[in-house]
Amino acid sequence: MHPDVAEVLITSDELQARIQQLADEISVHYAGKEPLLLAVLKGSVVFLADLMRALSVPHAIDFMATSSYGAATESSGVVRILKDLDEPIEGRDVLLVEDIIDSGNTLGYLRNLLLARNPASLHIVTLLSKPSRREVDVPVDWVGFEIPDKFVIGYGLDYNERYRDLPYIGVLKQDMYA
């Protein structure tokens, strides 16, 4: 275990097993279709990489990068688009892939933005969800794990851009950020 990690919340094996379950359900849902997996940078890239290889339906991928306008406006759900999609999504079956839903502000904003572009359908999968932190109620179709309100890192999630490479979801030691 990494010395900055207080505890492992979800092991690598548990992640892989759950992602295969999610992929099986998602593959059934999209049978006969060719969805566009839309990942929100950067945290979701590791989840996307494993999820897409576990899917049995053909699919394309694309990326968006967002940034919150800062603490003062976070609760208003204002999100800045740093990188938009490469292609239009009108008429496409879009699956939004997130690593974690915390307040729900990012997802709530993105969902409205994407729906305004008239996709054939829009569904959401998130690896992690912190229900106790939710401010904006966003309908999520698949949730990997509901987790308590702890500072989690690893498997794509960072603290100051570190720890994204850890193969498990860990809780960061408090003295690393206090």
- Site size toward ligand PRP (CB under 6 A) is 16
Q: Which pair of structure tokens corresponds to residue 171? A: 């809780």
Nearer to ligand PRP by Cβ, of 42 and 117: the residue is 42
Concerning whether 4 is annotated as a catalytic residue, the answer is no
Q: Which two tokens stand for residue 151?
A: 């500072």
Identified binder of ligand PRP from the candidate list 94, 100, 143, 147, rule CB under 6 A? 100
Locus of tokens 């919340």: 9
Q: Which is nearer to ligand PRP, 16 or 75 (CB)?
A: 75
Which of 42, 117, 150, 173 touches ligand PRP (CB under 6 A)? 42
Is residue 51 at the binding interface for ligand PRP, with CB under 6 A as the rule? no
Q: Are 72 and 96 in contact (CB under 8 A)?
A: no
Q: Which of 4, 50, 62, 102 is catalytic?
A: 102
Q: Could you say whether residue 102 binds ligand PRP (CB under 6 A)?
A: yes
User: How near is the Cβ of 134 to ligand PRP at its closest, in Å?
Assistant: 8
Q: Closer to ligand PRP by CB, 55 or 153: give it.
A: 153
**Total Cβ atoms within 10 A of residue 136:** 15
Query: Applying CB under 6 A, does 150 fall inside the site for ligand PRP?
Result: no
Return the amino acid letter for 40: V
Q: Does 40 bind ligand PRP (CB under 6 A)?
A: yes
Q: Please, what is the minimum distance in Å from the beta carbon of residue 34 to ligand PRP?
A: 25
- If one asks whether residue 101 binds ligand PRP (CB under 6 A), the answer comes out as yes
Residue 154 within binding range of ligand PRP, rule CB under 6 A? no
Binding site for ligand PRP (CB under 6 A): 40-44, 98-107, 158
**Residues with catalytic roles:** 102
